[in-house]
Structure 1
Amino acid sequence: MKIGRPPSSKDCIMARLLHVSASPMSSRSFSGRVAAAFVEAWRVAHPGSSVDELNVWTEPLPAFDAMASSWKVKVTAGQMPTEEEVAAVQPVIDVCTRFLEADHYLFSVPMWNFSVPYTLKHYLDVIVQPGITMAFDPRSGFVGLVPPDRPVQLVLSRGNTAYTPGGMFDGHEFQESYLRAVLGFIGLTDVRSIILECTAYPTEVREPRLAAAFHEAEAAAPTF
């Protein structure tokens, strides 16, 4: 299968922002609320541009089953998949196409068990595909196919603030580190982070941090 080069953001006249939301909490989500402030400021700074909202809890993501896995193994190895495999993987390609149609990315993600919600992992497993978002060469290894000039804004929330060196959960942070790794794998290296911690703490601790995150999001959006 041959996939053409995804258009660079420099090829686009109007910006297109894909907001991937990973919280099931809707308006009660801390990461979602900060991301909403970012989107509002981004719209003001980029009049006429578009925002595609994708919530991984409500989006009907395709299963990546045995047929799709067989397709992926063959494409990665430079082999020809069967017509049945190609047909089976079409819903996966459709999700990848929607991802590539954007030229700016926003991910709002709560921390779950030191990492990301399983629904976001499902989405990322769907979009990391050979010949579409990454490629493999036995001589040179893997290379990302998504243009690196597309910026990514992460809005991350965490219940506490113990992930720094020496903290209670030192070495347990697999939220930001995982997202940077998988996005970098497909070519997205301009990754910026807004991190809201202590969301599980009492109001007097949480609210000043939330206000600071809102301010950071509103300040970051215009130049994103």
Structure 2
Amino acid sequence: MTIANALIDTVRASRPDIELDVMDLWREELPEFDERTIQAKYKRVSGEPLDASESRAWATIESLAQRIREADRIVLGVPMWNWSIPYKLKQLIDLAAQRDLLFTYDGVHFGPAVDVARADVIAVRGQYYGEDGPTPGSHFDHQIAYVEFFLRTIGVRDVRTLVVDRTWDPAADDAIADGIERARRLAAAGSL
């Protein structure tokens, strides 16, 4: 979060009037995608009426999706967990990424249902995932491609990713300091 916060603080310094909606997934009460919610999803897709319980469950899903839809710019701080994304981010995506909320599907093609100008992704990893290292990204990195695919699929027009490797090795302090500086430059590269 330190690096993502540096990016946000830089944007905020140039645009003090900006409205910020911070979704801390570790504090956010994300619902389970349980049987009631699944029923609501399929009834909604087929045009069937929802009962009161299903309507409440679906309203929570719509609320999460709406927060994404209303964004002018998205900033994601994404640590790598077991070569991918944290389960809480996956849970948010699984909840909010619903047909006609964040994407469209006509039975053949997927399309965007969101119109967001830009997303900045801060991909933080404990070790180095360069192709010249012992854990090449082409084999071990299932973090960046997934997040970028998700954002582009729902309709984010400009996705910029800042990779910060080696945050758990002896060079961690230097890697984080460099990441903060690069995040500040990324924030300044283009405005809202």
TM-score, length-scaled by structure 1? 0.77
1:144-173 per-residue CA deviation (whole Å, 9 max, x = no partner) reads: 1011x5200011110110x23353223110
C-alpha root-mean-square deviation of aligned residues, in Å? 1.7
1:107-133 per-residue CA deviation (whole Å, 9 max, x = no partner) reads: 001110001111111111111011211
1:78-131 per-residue CA deviation (whole Å, 9 max, x = no partner) reads: 432423433331111111122222211000011100011111111111110112
2:41 aligned with 1:80 = no
Q: Distance in 2 between matches of 1:195 and 1:61?
A: 27
**Which one-letter code corresponds to 1:167 in the other structure?**
G
**Which one-letter code corresponds to 1:193 in the other structure?**
T
Matching residue within 96, 101, 108 for 1:132: 101
Q: Distance in 1 between matches of 2:36 and 2:134?
A: 43
User: Compared with structure 1, are the counterparts of its residues 134 and 75 closer, same or farther at alpha carbon in structure 2 (3 Å cutoff)?
Assistant: farther
Q: Residues 154 and 191 of structure 1 are in contact (CA less than 8 Å); yes or no, is this contact kept in structure 2?
A: yes
Matching residue within 4, 10, 33 for 1:41: 10
TM-score, length-scaled by structure 2? 0.89
2:117 aligned with 1:155 = no
Corresponding residue of 1:56: 25
Q: Distance in 2 between matches of 1:217 and 1:90?
A: 35
Identity %: 28
Superposition map of 1:125-204 within 5 A: 125-138=94-107, 140-147=108-115, 149-161=116-128, 163-165=129-131, 167-170=133-136, 171-202=139-170
User: Compared with structure 1, are the counterparts of its residues 169 and 74 closer, same or farther at alpha carbon in structure 2 (3 Å cutoff)?
Assistant: farther
**Which one-letter code corresponds to 1:206 in the other structure?**
A
Unaligned runs of 5+ in 2: none
Q: Distance in 2 between matches of 1:34 and 1:88?
A: 34
**Which one-letter code corresponds to 1:82 in the other structure?**
L
User: Compared with structure 1, are the counterparts of its residues 219 and 166 closer, same or farther at alpha carbon in structure 2 (3 Å cutoff)?
Assistant: closer
Provide the secondary structure at the position in 1 that maps to 2:83. Answer: coil
Corresponding residue of 1:112: 81
2:62 aligned with 1:93 = yes
Q: Residues 75 and 130 of structure 1 are in contact (CA less than 8 Å); yes or no, is this contact kept in structure 2?
A: no
Give the total of aligned pairs: 187
